[in-house]
Structure 1
């Protein structure tokens, strides 16, 4: 490992600083549709806008069309078609592959039983909660960036704000809000085989059972292929002698107790307070995780979220850099469950030889 001095400081921080600068850049509000002088009610408005055609089909298939044309008031958080494309849903026909109850829950979570305009949400706030038709809460965060208020619902960016409809208001989202009903972090990971290697490590080193408790927990979750590329298979993990390793460092680093962090929260904090780095001390260890995030304007015209984690031997200089990893799998970010969040992570933070007890 290389010793870090102040001379190298800028080298390690530059990629994340550039990412954050991009996230703070002014961008033009996307003109997805023109205001309708007749102010159609909720479902009719969605149905008559091509860019919302998949969401319109989801409303119809869920049997909620008639309700959304009643007096309301409603706030419709409408994912654009591109938001569904990120999830692999490219046409209304793809919705037929979903369980009907799951689809209805998804639609209901995108509707509030009140008229909520951006000005009604406390400015420069994080995780203000509002009730949805699914009887769940949606977490709302805002940050005034100098030219407009950037707003997120459950980590999904509002790309068009305050569209007037006859029975309320509508906001267009760049991502579908992902949430599972009556599910813990443990449940979520257990039913997804692509995270089974992480699960094996959490079980081996005693971090599994707590993920069924109240929490909240934020879990940073590498997929099996990431572990296997580093030579860490379930068989290798099960062969490790737990008495030889600092478990809190080796696998505890992926579990953040008492933290409820959307990736967008880190972007909001950077705008509000200038806090570009979120420091998380690994429990019972000297190692520190520094987490940062940003929004990158891609060629499709949306603002993809990404985050990075740097593990260092201690907080202040001089220290050793242990690893630098990122999470930018758009389908794998901001998975909300009852007791926390799961964030897909694209790399390994700690290898076994870095967690041997000395």
Structure 2
């Protein structure tokens, strides 16, 4: 055997085998290994990344790709394909079912008209605002105690930060940010029949009309099925006599005035303050409530929260009720004057809110 010739043949085949092996690997992450390839404008960069293919399709259909290849600067808050899957979008053709103006608003609200790096965001802040191409503001919360900052845009966790592109910067989000143009928390609830019993309770106890004002409000909203599971049908709510109840305890516990809480804010506050989240008295009442977010936020970007109501702040006290939500589709619904959070339970029952209690 000619050992020298065989060795030369192997040396010749090795690079080819290596290339074939690499090309057969499944693509599972952003293609950012080669800095020179990143130096492309935003539209082209997103288009050439498999993990952002659904956002790229949305950009193309909404007419943003050419604009994002312009001078900029831009910051792209790009939901991953997995983020779109969470809201039922699994293929580019799914965007054909959306109203064109709604799709344009969705894409535009994920693009900032400036270059923003993680180090530009104030440390340990809540609801820091930045302007978007949809003429809205995106709310940014950050905890800077970790090796890399923990950043949320409109409650959506940043899984990849500071991907530099030719005309700006890019962050990858674990969830699609949800916001509604020219909508208040009142009109958002009114447009969804699944909250009609909650709406009737807000009207019955005098909380409805104010929900068109500037706010901000955070509304924790139980669906009809939650009320009905507790024997509170629409007819039962209609028959309640408001003067018999402490209205702030029975209904006001779901309405937070002058508060703007994404679910992630509860977790960020916990980290910043090294405590158990948010705590406070029900407005105009002696009952105390606490709200906390699941620690899975940091690692998985999955948002869940729990609310607990008790008869007093400090012991001795009696537990009253608890509820929460762990469904991504139900949380962080942003409107012009606040946020609506779905709540899978009731906090206080009518018999717990009698004035003679």
Q: Under a length normalisation based on structure 2, what TM-score does the superposition of the two structures give?
A: 0.89
Structure 2 unaligned regions, length at least 5? 1-27
Alignment of 1:288-299 (within 5 A): 288-296=288-296
> 1:84 is paired with a residue of what secondary structure?
helix
> 2:127 is paired with a residue of what secondary structure?
strand
> 1:203 is paired with a residue of what secondary structure?
helix
Report if aligned partners of 2:190, 2:196 keep a CA contact under 8 Å in 1. yes
> 1:194 is paired with a residue of what secondary structure?
helix
> 2:304 is paired with a residue of what secondary structure?
strand
Report if aligned partners of 2:297, 2:303 keep a CA contact under 8 Å in 1. no
Q: Deviations over 1:153-187 (max 9, x none)?
A: 11111000000111111000001111111111101
Alignment of 1:235-246 (within 5 A): 235-246=235-246
1:303 has 2:263 as partner? no
Report if aligned partners of 2:142, 2:152 keep a CA contact under 8 Å in 1. yes
What is aligned with 2:353?
A: 355
Alignment of 1:183-262 (within 5 A): 183-262=183-262
What is aligned with 1:164?
A: 164
RMSD between superposed Cα atoms in Å: 1.5
Pairwise CA distance, 1:346:
1.0
Pairwise CA distance, 1:31:
4.6
1:32 has 2:61 as partner? no
What is aligned with 2:329?
A: 331
Report if aligned partners of 1:35, 1:163 keep a CA contact under 8 Å in 2. no
Change (3 A) 1:261 1:111: same
What is aligned with 1:83?
A: 83
> 1:324 is paired with a residue of what secondary structure?
strand
Report if aligned partners of 1:335, 1:343 keep a CA contact under 8 Å in 2. yes
What is aligned with 1:275?
A: 275
What is aligned with 1:322?
A: 320
> 2:162 is paired with a residue of what secondary structure?
strand
Pairwise CA distance, 1:32:
3.5
Q: Deviations over 1:46-74 (max 9, x none)?
A: 11111111110110110111000011111
Alpha-carbon separation, structure 2, partners of 1:90 and 1:178: 17
Report if aligned partners of 2:157, 2:297 keep a CA contact under 8 Å in 1. no
Alpha-carbon separation, structure 2, partners of 1:238 and 1:180: 30
Pairwise CA distance, 1:295:
3.7
The count of residues paired between Structure 1 and Structure 2 equals 327
> 1:53 is paired with a residue of what secondary structure?
helix
Alpha-carbon separation, structure 2, partners of 1:196 and 1:88: 24
Pairwise CA distance, 1:356:
1.1
Pairwise CA distance, 1:35:
3.6
Q: Deviations over 1:189-210 (max 9, x none)?
A: 0001111111011011111001
Greater relative CO (CA pairs within 8 A, separation 6+) = 1
Structure with the greater alpha carbon radius of gyration: 2
Alpha-carbon separation, structure 2, partners of 1:270 and 1:344: 21
Alpha-carbon separation, structure 2, partners of 1:34 and 1:354: 57
Pairwise CA distance, 1:297:
6.7
Alpha-carbon separation, structure 2, partners of 1:302 and 1:32: 17
Q: Deviations over 1:24-46 (max 9, x none)?
A: xxxxxx95333442322101111
Report if aligned partners of 2:29, 2:51 keep a CA contact under 8 Å in 1. no
